[in-house]
Amino acid sequence: KNEVEQSPQNLTAQEGEFITINCSYSVGISALHWLQQHPGGGIVSLFMLSSGKKKHGRLIATINIQEKHSSLHITASHPRDSAVYICAVLGDYGGSQGNLIFGKGTKLSVKP
């Protein structure tokens, strides 16, 4: 079983729809990242969370530390949101910096 699981693997939505991508993890973490990867390959960091909720424009990320679960929401989706969204956790190694453990990503396609 992977340490970071994302669902769904693929998601197709109509423009304007509300989208949710889920991430569950099984290890102790010091932070969780939501990342966006476009077809060219480069990765952009959207959010870094260690508790609660963050909002940036139409994007909202939440985390529940007790349940080891995070969600990324996109409101009023747009074709330019089409990308792969990746959840990555930073392991908690008792003070020393761990490394990022990635989910396999969710491929989002938003149709006009």
Partner 1 sequence: DAGVTQSPTHLIKTRGQQVTLRCSPKSGHDTVSWYQQALGQGPQFIFQYYEEEERQRGNFPDRFSGHQFPNYSSELNVNALLLGDSALYLCASSSQGRHGYTFGSGTRLTVV
The edge-to-edge listing of strands for the beta sheet with 19-25 is 4-7, 19-25, 69-74, 59-64, 52-56
Contact pick of 42, 57, 94, 112 for partner 1 (by CB under 8 A): 42
Smallest distance, partner 1 to C-beta of residue 75, A: 25
Alpha carbons 72 and 2: distance in angstroms, whole number: 19
Contact pick of 45, 51, 64, 109 for partner 1 (by CB under 8 A): 45
Nearest CA to 104 out of 45, 22, 42, 14 is that of 22
Pick between residue 72 and residue 90 the one whose CB is nearest to partner 1. Answer: 90
Q: Which residues of this protein are in contact with partner 1, per CB under 8 A?
A: 4, 30-31, 33, 35, 40-45, 48, 50, 86, 88, 90, 97-105
